Amino acid sequence: MLVISPQAFGVNSIALGDNSKAYGDNSKGYGDRIYPYKKV
Protein backbone atom coordinates (compact mmCIF):
# COMPACT_ATOMS: atom_id res chain seq x y z
CA MET A 1 0.00 0.00 0.00
CA LEU A 2 1.41 3.34 -1.04
CA VAL A 3 1.35 5.91 1.71
CA ILE A 4 1.99 9.51 0.74
CA SER A 5 2.92 11.66 3.71
CA PRO A 6 1.44 15.17 3.97
CA GLN A 7 4.97 16.58 3.91
CA ALA A 8 5.80 14.88 0.61
CA PHE A 9 2.46 16.02 -0.75
CA GLY A 10 3.30 19.59 0.25
CA VAL A 11 6.66 19.44 -1.53
CA ASN A 12 5.00 18.04 -4.64
CA SER A 13 2.41 20.81 -4.51
CA ILE A 14 5.16 23.42 -4.35
CA ALA A 15 6.91 21.84 -7.34
CA LEU A 16 3.62 21.72 -9.22
CA GLY A 17 3.06 25.38 -8.43
CA ASP A 18 6.51 26.25 -9.79
CA ASN A 19 5.80 24.27 -12.95
CA SER A 20 2.48 26.04 -13.38
CA LYS A 21 4.22 29.42 -13.02
CA ALA A 22 6.84 28.43 -15.60
CA TYR A 23 4.06 27.26 -17.91
CA GLY A 24 2.34 30.60 -17.46
CA ASP A 25 5.57 32.42 -18.34
CA ASN A 26 5.97 30.25 -21.44
CA SER A 27 2.38 30.97 -22.47
CA LYS A 28 3.02 34.71 -22.06
CA GLY A 29 6.15 34.46 -24.20
CA TYR A 30 4.20 32.54 -26.83
CA GLY A 31 1.50 35.20 -26.79
CA ASP A 32 4.13 37.91 -27.26
CA ARG A 33 5.56 36.03 -30.26
CA ILE A 34 2.22 35.63 -32.05
CA TYR A 35 1.05 39.16 -31.24
CA PRO A 36 2.87 40.85 -34.18
CA TYR A 37 1.12 38.47 -36.57
CA LYS A 38 -2.23 39.47 -35.08
CA LYS A 39 -1.50 43.16 -35.65
CA VAL A 40 -0.93 42.73 -39.37
pLDDT for the residue numbered 39: 62
User: Would residue 19 count as lying in a domain?
Assistant: yes
- Tell me the CA distances in angstroms from 11 to 7, 18, 20, 28, 40, one per residue in order: 6, 11, 14, 26, 45
pLDDT tens sequence for the chain (40 residues): 567 677 777 887 878 888 888 888 878 887 777 777 666 5
User: Would residue 3 count as lying in a domain?
Assistant: yes
CA separation for the pair 35, 28 (Å, rounded): 10
CA separation for the pair 8, 14 (Å, rounded): 10
pLDDT for the residue numbered 5: 74
User: Would residue 7 count as lying in a domain?
Assistant: yes
Domains: count for the chain: 1
What residue numbers bound the domain in which 17 lies?
1-34
User: Would residue 23 count as lying in a domain?
Assistant: yes
User: Would residue 4 count as lying in a domain?
Assistant: yes
User: Would residue 6 count as lying in a domain?
Assistant: yes
User: Would residue 25 count as lying in a domain?
Assistant: yes
Q: What pTM, to 2 d.p., does this model score?
A: 0.37
User: Would residue 39 count as lying in a domain?
Assistant: no
